[in-house]
Amino acid sequence: MYEAMICMADVVDIMLGVIMIARLHAMYQRSRKVLIFLVVIFLTMRIAVAVMDAIQLMHVSGEELVLSGNHLCTINLAGDSLSMIPMTWILGIVWEVLALCLAVWIAVKHFRELRQHSPGGIIGDCFMMLIQTHVNYFASFVVIACLYIGQLSQMFSAHESSLNVQIYDGFAQILYMVQLSVLGPRLILSVREYYAKLVADSDTATAMTSIVFQECVHVETSSSV
């Protein structure tokens, strides 16, 4: 079960990383240098995470506890594998910080260029939407990473079977699933929703123009008669 959870989390993290690279690649106007830079950094990080996960799986063991008639399954990590957990989350934070800095920098650059030429516009609104979804995703990732790293403190290790620790662990897992299943897909859905809104606004404007044109033709025809 623990192995399946790690593998599933790695697959989802890779998918979200690819989405993030695609977003940044588009924001940087499909720059090949930026794409190569992001791919190299992401692959390096994922290889390091895969090695750490393999070390964890080699030293993981399970234990069944019976407390007041309730069966609990605990996961134990031996050796240096316990220190691999915060390292994987720290690598994830480094990647998210890098992605956020690149997104903010190119957005600020575009906003300055737009201010010099024309205020606002579709491009400015699009970049604002991208930054908002990016910041929300980044904030959630940092909070969840801090929660998981906090589980490795001595206080949690000493009271691993207590109710408060179990609630804390369940809360962290729920937030992690929300990030993967809600905030992650929002990175794509927000772009699709914004594009659909632009199309809808464009269709509405076209329809209004057609109605006004038909009314003008009707008025001109009536006056000529």
Greatest mean pLDDT among 74-78, 137-141, 214-218: 137-141
Summarize pLDDT for 161-213 with one digit per residue, the tens: 567 777 777 788 788 878 777 777 777 776 666 666 666 656 554 544 444 33
Q: Count the Cβ atoms, other than its own, within 10 Å of residue 219.
A: 10
Asked whether 190 and 133 are in contact (CB, 8 A), the reply is yes
Summarize pLDDT for 137-169 with one digit per residue, the tens: 888 888 888 887 777 666 665 566 567 777 777
User: What pLDDT score does 48 carry?
Assistant: 92
What average pLDDT does the structure give for the chain?
Answer: 73
Distances (CA, A) of 58 to 2, 10, 62, 86: 12, 17, 12, 17
The pLDDT > 70 percentage for the chain reads 60
Spatial distance between the Cα atoms of 134 and 206, rounded to a whole number of angstroms? 32
Burial 118-133 (b: 16+ CB within 10 A, else e): eeeeeebebbeebbeb
